[in-house]
């Protein structure tokens, strides 16, 4: 019985890796297309609320929390789901990132990158991979939010649910205080995640109950 279980886990990991690769390719496509657009075509999405949020250079650990949070917490949730729920979750993640990429192409916008970023933030920007042209919605916030929602849907443990929600909130706050995204970007990311999660939560014949002990 152990071999089929390992094979099933391996297949799920391959599917999750495929979503991660799709996300990277979509991001690269969007940023490279938007980077060659005239400056007049780029939207300015700043609001009065953005001006009121201070730039906190040392809040970068909150922003970077998404990188362990999504694969670890999301992986725990995905690997314990019934097959039907897992397939729908993969589709939800993939559809969310493709919808986000389409919006980013339709509404190309500048990121509010600070003039004096923290050393870690400066290193992040100088990597050559990161460009300030994939902003609305913030997929950083979208992935953190969807992961927290999915995780909270498959566990009854209040402490685990609270921790996942707190992590998603911290990532969102860090995204704003590090000035990687505008408030509208973050709000759009949350809304996009809610749409994906709502679709995933729809009951099906092979997923009568998503919540697990």
85 by Cβ neighbours in 10 Å (0-12 / 13-18 / 19+) ranks as buried
State the pLDDT at residue 206: 55
Kindly list the averaged pLDDT for each block of 10 residues, start to end, along the chain of length 213: 52 87 92 89 91 91 93 89 90 96 93 84 79 89 97 92 96 94 96 96 64 44
b/e for 173-199, b at 16 or more Cβ within 10 A? bbbbbbbbbbbbbbbbbbebbebbbee
Domain boundaries, the chain: 2-200
pTM: 0.88
CA 155, CA 95: separation in Å to the nearest integer?
A: 24
SS (H, E, C) 125-179: HCCCCCCCCCCCCCHHHHHHHHHHHHHHHCCCCHHHHHHHHHHHHHHHHHHHHCC
State the pLDDT at residue 114: 85
State the pLDDT at residue 5: 46
State the pLDDT at residue 209: 52
b/e for 37-58, b at 16 or more Cβ within 10 A? eeeeebeebeeeebeeeebbbe
State the pLDDT at residue 127: 76
State the pLDDT at residue 115: 80
């Amino acid at each position: 019985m152990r071999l089929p279980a390992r094979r099933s886990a391996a297949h799920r990991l391959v599917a999750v890796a495929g979503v991660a690769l799709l996300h990277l390719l979509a991001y690269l496509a969007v940023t490279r297309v938007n980077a060659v657009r005239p400056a007049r075509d780029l939207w300015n999405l700043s609001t009065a609320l953005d001006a009121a949020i201070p730039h906190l250079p040392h809040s970068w650990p909150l922003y970077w929390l998404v990188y362990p949070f999504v694969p670890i917490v999301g992986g725990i949730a995905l690997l314990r789901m019934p097959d039907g729920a897992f397939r729908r979750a993969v589709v939800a993640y993939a559809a969310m990132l493709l919808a986000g990429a389409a919006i980013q192409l339709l509404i190309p916008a500048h990121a509010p990158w600070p003039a004096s970023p923290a050393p870690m933030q400066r290193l992040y920007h100088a990597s050559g991979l990161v460009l300030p042209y994939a902003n609305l919605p913030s997929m950083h916030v979208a992935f953190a939010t969807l992961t927290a929602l999915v995780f909270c849907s498959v566990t009854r443990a209040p402490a685990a649910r609270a921790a996942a929600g707190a992590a998603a909130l911290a990532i969102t706050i860090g995204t704003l205080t590090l000035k990687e995204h505008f408030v509208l970007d973050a709000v759009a990311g949350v809304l996009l995640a809610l749409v994906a999660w709502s679709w995933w939560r729809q009951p099906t014949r092979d997923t009568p109950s998503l919540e697990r002990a």
